[in-house]
Amino acid sequence: MKATTLKKAALVAGSLSFLAGSAFSQSAVSGAGGYETLTINAGKFNVLGLRLHEPQVVSGTFDANTGDSLTDNDVNFTDVLTAGKRYLVEIADSGTVIEVDAWSGSDLTGLAGVEAADASDYTIRAAKTIGDVFGADNSAGLTSSANADPSEASVIYVPNGSGFTQVFYSTLAGFSGWLDAGTFADATDLPLNYVDGLIVNEKGADDISLVVTGMVKTTSTNLPVSDAFTYLGTAYPVGATLGNSGLADSVSASANADPSEADTVYLPKADASGYDQYFFSTLAGFDGWLNSATFAAAGDVELTSGIIISQNGTGAAFNATVTPPAFYADL
């Protein structure tokens, strides 16, 4: 067994006792949790994903929906959710993740992209924030600015649907803390959706070990892929590979083993010096996941926490569904 596999096995085994059996509000489900250490390479743009999550705070079955709302008549969301926080609604059947910022009684309101099929089993968990992941006081140790100048500090790029919100840490009196580099507004509570990949440009001289803690998700996840390069998180902290991820069922493949015909999955190198590129082929004798440069079989290649998918196939936006490794069913 490879050393990396042993490390992963140890993480999963340890996670079974971390937070196991904890009780959460309403009909929440307890589960396995743990920690993951992500390397932020100095002087590089690092693509990272959040693969350990906030605990589930409520679960149930939606009774009705409209184009922008979901209703569970058995739950008073006003009682179980905290005003001012963003939550993530996970639809069990489809893997869709819906952001929710508003609710009233049994209704989640102001939602985007609700479909009829979303009126099914669900769970809700809070979204992590910049402060949760990197520490409200920058305990992660990213390079800060004493002058509230983002050009001096490390920058976190958070996808926002039309580009990126850039966040940095300032120690200047009166402008201290996590700030939006565009508006200089407080960004400590900026919510992060784990389907998105983050980019961290560390401007210091030393690599940083970022420890992310949380719960293991054990159901499928839809990663929304746009018509350009999309930065994505891979949702599951251990055991996920190109071959067992389920991505082959969503991405455009090549019938000719030609990477220019297929969607490309970019996995960042460990030292953030570039990317290894992969595509899915259906050509007999060259079928499966292949390295785009060497055409070596790549089904066993482990997914990094953050990836990029380039829409080279149909050109249309789609959901890339990732599924947890089979052993997650026992967590």
pLDDT at 7: 37
- Low pLDDT (below 50) residues in the chain: 1-30
The Cα 331–Cα 328 span in angstroms is 5
Task: Give, as one character, the DSSP assignment of residue 314.
Answer: S
Sheet holding 64-66, edge to edge: 64-66, 69-71, 107-109, 102-104
pLDDT at 313: 66
DSSP letters for 136-197: TT-TT----BTTS-TTTS-EEEEE-SSSEEEEEEEEETTEEEEEETTT--B-TT-EE-TTBP
CA 298 to chain centre: 22
Residues β-bridged to residue 111? none
The Cα 108–Cα 110 span in angstroms is 7
At residue 210, what are phi and psi to the nearest 5 degrees?
-100, 120
> Rounded to 10 degrees, what is the CA torsion of 152, 156, 161, 163?
30
pLDDT at 315: 72
The Cα 171–Cα 184 span in angstroms is 13
pLDDT at 32: 86
| pTM for this predicted structure | 0.90
Is the Cβ–Cβ distance between 58 and 28 less than 8 Å? yes
Closest CA to 49 of 225, 232, 222, 200: 232
Burial classification of residue 21, based on how many CB atoms lie within 10 Å of its CB (0-12 exposed, 13-18 middle, 19 or more buried): exposed
How does strand 107-109 pair with strand 102-104? Answer: antiparallel
The Cα 32–Cα 329 span in angstroms is 11
pLDDT at 31: 67
